[in-house]
Amino acid sequence: MPNIKPLIPISKKLLLLLLSSFLVLNVFAQQSRKIINLNLGWSFQKGTNPIQKINLPHTWNAFDVMDDVPGYYRGIGTYKKKLALKPEWKGKNLFLYFEGANQETEVFLNGKKIGNHIGGYTGFRVPLLGLKYNGTDEITVKVDNSYNENIAPLTADFTFFGGLYRSVSLMVLETAHFDDNQYGSNGVFVKAENVSDTKAEVLINGNFLNNCLEKQLIISSTLSDT
């Protein structure tokens, strides 16, 4: 984890620049990655029912919570989608990012399980390992909203909507990248400490993954007073 702690002269107006520098660093961390929305063009099957063509966000409980027949369905729904991958992505780190799936999720690539997640209200990502890049790569997502006494919440004043009820994206990252596999963050943290009219200590922490051939990398950050 990089830890940069420079001691720099500071004026009151530089406090705003610290925030601006954080935003610049935040943008820089995103420049080397691609985020592709995958919401369109899924097939879906509820239980053993006929397969449907749907787009995300999607839930199989959109109407049945109000109907006595067939009634509120709590069970398994299966989603499938072919991936359109570019040849230049070979060698990069690819992930599926789910903003929300309720409530137990299993993810498969070309029939092989590659990840799972428990809980319906937090985002998660799954690494795409074993891609073929020949036009046949297919992801399958099985989501189950059956009652499970080990998964909170057990009761609520809202419906436990099953399915991929939030967006799904494809993340294309470099082999060396800031790791945003953190709840509610992008992996880069900036904190100003001991701030006065003349100086401040600025602490920059980053969760950084390096899977490239160069095992030593230099990460730098610049703060400037205009």
CATH number at 51 reads: 2.60.120.260
At residue 14, the pLDDT reads 43
- Check whether 171 has a pLDDT greater than 90: yes
Q: How many domains does the chain have?
A: 1
Query: Mean pLDDT throughout 34-38?
Result: 96
Calculate the dihedral angle through the C-alpha atoms of 124, 128, 133, 136, rounding to the nearest 10 degrees: -70
- Four-residue CA torsion sign, 155, 161, 167, 171: positive
Domain assignment present for 113? yes
Domain assignment present for 108? yes
At residue 140, the pLDDT reads 99
Query: Mean pLDDT throughout 41-61?
Result: 97
At residue 213, the pLDDT reads 65
Domain assignment present for 189? no
Band of pLDDT at residue 154, cut at 50, 70 and 90: confident
Band of pLDDT at residue 202, cut at 50, 70 and 90: confident
Domain assignment present for 136? yes
User: What span, in angstroms and rounded, lies between the C-alpha atoms of 183 and 162?
Assistant: 22
Neighbour count for residue 145 (Cβ, 10 Å): 25
- Check whether 116 has a pLDDT greater than 50: yes
**Between 225 and 157, the higher pLDDT residue:** 157
Residue identified by tokens 């390096």 is 210
Domain assignment present for 125? yes
Band of pLDDT at residue 4, cut at 50, 70 and 90: very low
**pLDDT, tens only, 57-94:** 999 999 887 766 678 899 999 999 999 999 999 989 99
User: What span, in angstroms and rounded, lies between the C-alpha atoms of 167 and 217?
Assistant: 34
Which residues span the domain enclosing 88?
35-175
Domain assignment present for 192? no
- Check whether 178 has a pLDDT greater than 90: no
Buried b (16+ CB within 10 A) or exposed e, 62-97: eebeeeeeeeebbebbbbebebebeeebeebbbbbb
Domain assignment present for 194? no
- Check whether 13 has a pLDDT greater than 70: no
Domain assignment present for 19? no
